[in-house]
Structure 1
Amino acid sequence: MKTVILALLCAAALALPFAGTALAEEKAPRVNMAEIVLKPECREAFLAAVREEMRESLRVEPGVIALYMVADAEDPNKLTFFDMYTDDAAYEAHCATPHFKKYIETTKEMAVSKKVIRVTPLELCDRLGAQPAK
């Protein structure tokens, strides 16, 4: 539950183009949340692979708006992702990229469980100007 709350808090730090704007359903971007529980011995390799994939996605895919990854405060092997794309087509294009396919192949044996949930943004606000973690 804490992981979900953390991920929702990340939603408050999303892209400025939507700041303070109620999103009409037909204009809403594609937003997914994912929960991944890692095998402890795979954590560092997984983090390296996913960071590479996230940075490449932001570098080459104009339809990617925001990609966030947070760890549960009590279980560092439980990660929550919050991904935002301009629309469904941008998400589908993302899933077809070589860097995403590489990430999937590289990490396929590293997780105990994976769950992806499509969510509908109701309001997205940003005051902080999200920055990647160092």
Structure 2
Amino acid sequence: MNFQKIGVLLFFAISLNCVGQESKYEKSYSGEDEVMVRIAELEIDPNSIDEYLTILKEEAEASLRLEPGVICIYPMFQKENPAQIRLLEIYANKSAYESHLKTPHFKKYKTTTAEMVKDLKLIDMEAIDAESMSMIFKKL
């Protein structure tokens, strides 16, 4: 199975695990020890897609490599409309997310892509079955 198919399967599997009711790992973002899951929906200027993707890949890789509290930043785009970007973001807790926003690589990403982003929606999610989330990553 190629990497793109694995990515699509991973997104759908995690998406199913990232919506709905309370679990023992995720209740809300009011607690510091609760996993934070978010889907970011972005629309990118079609003339800037290649440059945007280069910057985004760089930022996502640095976040995963340098930040212990960043569990997942998984960027992808719609096959039929590459200007529609989606990111699955999973942070160890709200504090890890807030720390991520202060990093040099995130700040560079935000400033260098500001003119490229036409629309941004951040959607906070809750896992239906957070216990099975670790199995998804083990399968990769």
TM-score, normalising length: structure 1: 0.77
Alignment of 1:12-51 (within 5 A): 23-25=25-27, 28-51=34-57
Unaligned stretches of 5+ residues in structure 1: 15-20
- Within 2, Cα distance between the matches of 1:66 and 1:76? 21
- Within 1, Cα distance between the matches of 2:15 and 2:138? 10
- Within 2, Cα distance between the matches of 1:75 and 1:130? 29
Aligned match of 1:79: 85
Alignment of 1:1-134 (within 5 A): 9=12, 11=14, 23-25=25-27, 28-124=34-130, 125=133, 126-127=135-136, 129=138
Higher relative contact order (CA 8 A, sep 6+): 1
Amino acid at match of 1:9: F
Aligned match of 1:18: none
- Give aligned pairs, total: 121
- Within 1, Cα distance between the matches of 2:48 and 2:26? 40
Check the 8 A contact 1:7/1:81 in 2, yes or no: no
Q: Percent identity?
A: 31
- Within 2, Cα distance between the matches of 1:128 and 1:86? 15
Larger mean CA deviation between 82-91 and 68-77 belongs to 68-77
Specify whether residues 130 and 32 from structure 1 end up closer, same or farther in structure 2 by C-alpha distance, changes over 3 A only: farther
TM-score, normalising length: structure 2: 0.74
Specify whether residues 36 and 30 from structure 1 end up closer, same or farther in structure 2 by C-alpha distance, changes over 3 A only: same
- Within 1, Cα distance between the matches of 2:107 and 2:45? 20
Unaligned stretches of 5+ residues in structure 2: 1-7, 18-22
Larger mean CA deviation between 118-127 and 89-98 belongs to 118-127
